[in-house]
Amino acid sequence: MKILSIEASTTGCSVALFENDKLLSAIESRIDRSSAEFLTTLIDQVLMVAKVEKLDLDAIAVAKGPGSYTGLRIAVSTAKGFAFALDKPLLSFGTLDAMCYQVNGYPEGILLCPMIDARRMEVFCAFYDGEEKKQKIAVEAVIVEEQSFEDILLNNKVLFFGEGSAKCEDVLKSTNALFLTDPIIPSAAFSGKICNEKYNNGEFEDLTLFEPYYLKEYMFKTKKP
């Protein structure tokens, strides 16, 4: 079973190819707003490296968000186009869910909190079990202030990570708030386990109805007269 995975939730974009949950090849661009220009090229390169033809794919997967409005829209449109043209099922995975698979080796009982920058002092975040990577508190948009997450931090050690977590380091005073120094950026290369499970469970998206999970309405900018 071969699954092509596409991710463009934040800066740049990435593409990965899996056989079941084993990574065969992956490539990424971290150039801001590069998804429109490079995404289809990255897909071709990933398939070429693995020596896999498009028709040999069993499913197309895409990060559904939250994240950048433009990046998500381009990634989902691209994934839908490939799924439709190749007559393959479409899978989706949460951006924050996949980020958790970049973090391993922490003590049992710790909670994971991946964070995506949502501009100003706001972040998109969720809380997960550190061992099983199962979501315990749903995704939400949070304005970071000293009282943020105080109920959770009162009785739990929490590891905050991702580009949005930088906003919290100087604000959250609890000794239970831990921060990962290594940068964690959403990447298709860490979506294999989720996509494999969804494929085996038949959790496919409707090609007509599926939309990205923006979480917040997009604020269109207007030029000043």
| Residue 123 shares a structural domain with residue 166 | yes
Domains held by the chain: number: 2
**Position 181 confidence tier, pLDDT thresholds 50, 70, 90:** confident
Could you tell me the residue range of the domain that residue 138 belongs to? 104-179
Q: In this structure, are 129 and 67 located in the same domain?
A: no
Whether residue 11 sits in one domain with residue 87: yes
CA distance linking residue 142 with residue 169, whole number of Å? 15
Q: Are residues 135 and 92 in the same domain?
A: no
Residue 225 belongs to a domain = no
Same domain for 171 and 192, yes or no, is no
Q: Which domain CATH number covers 46?
A: 3.30.420.40
Which pLDDT does position 196 carry in this prediction?
Answer: 98
CA 20, CA 23: separation in Å to the nearest integer?
Answer: 8
Instruction: Please count the other Cβ atoms lying within 10 Å of the Cβ belonging to residue 208.
Output: 7
Q: How confident is the model at residue 34 (pLDDT cuts 50, 70, 90)?
A: low
Return the CATH number at 145.
Answer: 3.30.420
- Domain membership of residue 221 (yes or no) is no
Q: Within this chain, do residues 68 and 151 fall inside the same structural domain, yes or no? A: no
Same domain, 170 and 67: no
How confident is residue 225, by pLDDT bands cut at 50, 70 and 90? very low
Write down the pLDDT at residue 217.
58
- Interatomic CA distance for residues 223 and 225, integer angstroms: 6
Structure tokens at 171: 């604000």
CB-side neighbour CA atoms (13 Å) of 26: 17
- 30 belongs to a structural domain: yes
Q: Which of the four pLDDT bands, split at 50, 70 and 90, describes residue 137?
A: very high
Distance of CA 217 to the CA centre of its chain: 18
**Which residue pairs, CB below 8 angstroms and at least 24 apart, start in 195-199?**
195/3, 195/5, 195/18, 195/21, 195/59, 195/61, 195/91, 195/93, 196/1, 196/3, 196/18, 196/20, 196/21, 198/61, 198/91, 198/92, 198/93, 199/1, 199/3, 199/58, 199/59, 199/89, 199/91
Q: What is the mean pLDDT of residues 143-168?
A: 95
Q: Is residue 53 part of a domain?
A: yes
Residues 6+ apart with CB under 8 A from 180: 103, 159, 160, 161, 165
